Structure 1
Amino acid sequence: MTSAQSSNSNVPENDFNLLEDSEDADNHTSASTATRLSLQFQLDESYLGQRIDQVAATVWSDFSREKLKQWMQAGHLLVNGNIVKPKYKCDGSEHLTLDVELEAQTTAQPENIPLDIVYEDDDILIINKHVGMVVHPGAGNPNGTLVNALLYHHPKSAELSRAGLVHRIDKDTSGLLVVAKTLEAQFSLSKQLAKKSVYRIYDAITYGTIIAGGTIDEPIKRHPVDRIKMAVLPGGRDAVTHYNVKERFQNFTRVQAQLETGRTHQIRVHFMYLGYPLLGDSVYVGRIRIPAGASETLTEALRGFKRQALHASKLGLVHPRTGEEMMFEAPWAEDFAALVEVLRKENKAY
């Protein structure tokens, strides 16, 4: 177990205080496990006139419309206890039930990789991800990922899409993320993220001296030339980052950033856009920048820091089963803490 802490206080101690009040994720009820799924949903008048296959795809969006149609035709998805055709038009009062044996949702293999578990119960898992761990298998990273570790730690996660992941953090970013252990928990957490009620705070060190905090509200999309990068560009997806200055050095600034949205590389791209890129970010900055007159100690520390200076330090959410507000905190990774100490001694502000 890490020294990260969890608490159930309603108001977290921080400068943002933006943990939103959250309703229950939806009106699902279930007696599900990850393998055998038994879900219910009560329609209301907002669904009047819609086709049942469209409604089912909205209600249970983790599954494809085609898969839901198959379950409907096989009698696994019932309307008021009856089998209906996908084109059935709803009157808004129907009771839907879905009872099915789930198939494996991933081809990734379980691997006995140690996990730094901050909190775990029957519904969720809070992980303090270490630097260098890829979250999901992909090109160039077929194994050794967090998903491989999750499949070993909790084998039933194989029946969940993305092995229960609802959000990600970059390979070289350390810190907290939440994983669902049941489909119902995954529904709830995904909806909380969509409603922007999952509270996520990151600690970062930027180049340059930032005078004051603020909000960056700029759209992000894939870079048109360098496909590894993201960029602030018209027509991108909405992206909002709130930030506060926590500590100023002579040539650097330690900030806390709170995500309102969760776009790829959001914090890295937004601070690059401001003109204060993250220290150590090889993708968006390239070579390390050594301040003029830097001491040997500072120079060695900067050159030895081989990643973007970013740590997911706080995570707040509403528990998908109990409705309890929960807040988790993870200490800085060792390299991040060591870097801050060097900056305090060797790059003190005037």
Structure 2
Amino acid sequence: MLDLVVPKTVNPMPIKDFLRSHVGLSLTVWRKIKFSGAILVNGKKISITNSIAPGDTITINWVQPCDIIPTKIPLQIVYEDDTLLIIDKPPGMLVHPTTSERLETVGNAVMYYFQQKNLPFKFHPVHRLDRNTSGLLVIAKLPHIQHLLSVNGVKNINRQYVALITGALQPAIGTIDAPIARHPNSIIQRIVSNEGQQATTCYKVLKDLKNASLIELTLLTGRTHQIRVHLSHIGHPILGDDLYGGSRDLISRQALHASSLSFTHPNSGKTIEVSSPLPTDIIKVINILSANKI
């Protein structure tokens, strides 16, 4: 159930227009509510063609179906409120269940957490992380919150990553601006291609290591495998990322970690800032490289 109060600054308008423009409900969610849910205004059921006025209380009684099976998996929660959950995802875990992996994903763990807390929420990840990328993941408890944070992709969430890459990256601060497309012979792999979607990644070298660099990256767009593809494209693949040319000699997964993020909360308007320390496997590689540096 969702309760909303129409602000006094809003002019009378059809309820659909209000929910779409001021609340952020996607067209998909609106259609599901229209056909499956009950909408009350000031406690009374109304037609979906009715208009609302300033001060009206809107109640939406709609339970979104979810076929994700709750699984008892520990969650590292770094932030939570009534509408959002931010977790620190370990490497090796998918975000969404698939036909071949239905029980051991972030979605399963989150649904178990909601179940144990008797919370009537579903799984609405605002963005994604690759299976072997660790770090911060934002999850909305309500679909309209997911929509509000997802409009225009990552522009509503400032995300920073830390990566260990091959070689010494020059210049020490720069921007990689190269379009990304699906590889013509793979459903997984991506490539830089003039036929692809615009993609921009900013980077800064944090530490020079022997035949490697520790760098910080900021996403200005959110393409699949964007950081991995861009770094491989400029000749500095991420250590452990054998899909894009990285060596697995020191680490068995891509040494990529979602280290910090910030955004304006869609409800309160407050700035939310969270961070995550580097995981032990990446720290171990940094120590090895630092000890061997000439």
TM-score using structure 2 length: 0.83
- Give 1:116's aligned amino acid: Q
The answer for unaligned runs of 5 or more in structure 1 is 1-35, 289-301
Match of 2:251 among 298, 305, 315: 305
What is residue 39 of structure 2 aligned with on the other side?
Answer: 76
Q: Cα distance 1:175–1:84, how it changes in 2: closer, same or farther (>3 A)?
A: closer
What is residue 63 of structure 1 aligned with on the other side?
Answer: 28
Match of 1:263 among 215, 218, 223: 223
Q: How many residues align?
A: 286
Separation in structure 2 between the aligned mates of residue 277 and residue 234 of structure 1, nearest angstrom: 20
RMSD of the TM alignment (CA)?
3.2
Task: Report the CA distance between 1:316 and its aligned residue.
Answer: 1.1
- Give 2:258's aligned amino acid: A
Task: Report the CA distance between 1:140 and its aligned residue.
Answer: 2.1
Match of 1:117 among 77, 84, 108: 77
Q: Cα distance 1:264–1:105, how it changes in 2: closer, same or farther (>3 A)?
A: farther
Correspondence 1:75-94 to 2 at 5 A? 76=39, 83=47, 85=49
Task: Report the CA distance between 1:68 and its aligned residue.
Answer: 4.5
- Give 2:265's aligned amino acid: H
> Identity over the aligned pairs, expressed in percent?
35
The answer to whether the 8 Å contact 2:260/2:273 transfers is yes
> CA offsets per residue over residues 267-325 of structure 1, 9 Å max, x none?
00111111211111021126x3xxxxxxxxxxxxx524100110111111223333221
Q: Classify the secondary structure of the residue corresponding to 2:168.
A: coil
Q: Cα distance 1:201–1:104, how it changes in 2: closer, same or farther (>3 A)?
A: same
The answer to whether 1:37 aligns with 2:36 is no
Q: Cα distance 1:122–1:60, how it changes in 2: closer, same or farther (>3 A)?
A: closer
Q: Greater relative contact order: 1 or 2 (C-alpha under 8 angstroms, separation 6 or more)?
A: 1
The answer to whether 1:208 aligns with 2:154 is no
Task: Report the CA distance between 1:171 and its aligned residue.
Answer: 0.9
Task: Report the CA distance between 1:44 and its aligned residue.
Answer: 7.3
Q: Cα distance 1:112–1:62, how it changes in 2: closer, same or farther (>3 A)?
A: farther
Q: Hey, which of these two has a bigger chunk of strand by percent?
A: 2
> CA offsets per residue over residues 156-177 of structure 1, 9 Å max, x none?
77743xx021111111111111
Task: Report the CA distance between 1:260 and its aligned residue.
Answer: 1.3
Task: Report the CA distance between 1:200 and its aligned residue.
Answer: 0.9
Task: Report the CA distance between 1:190 and its aligned residue.
Answer: 2.6
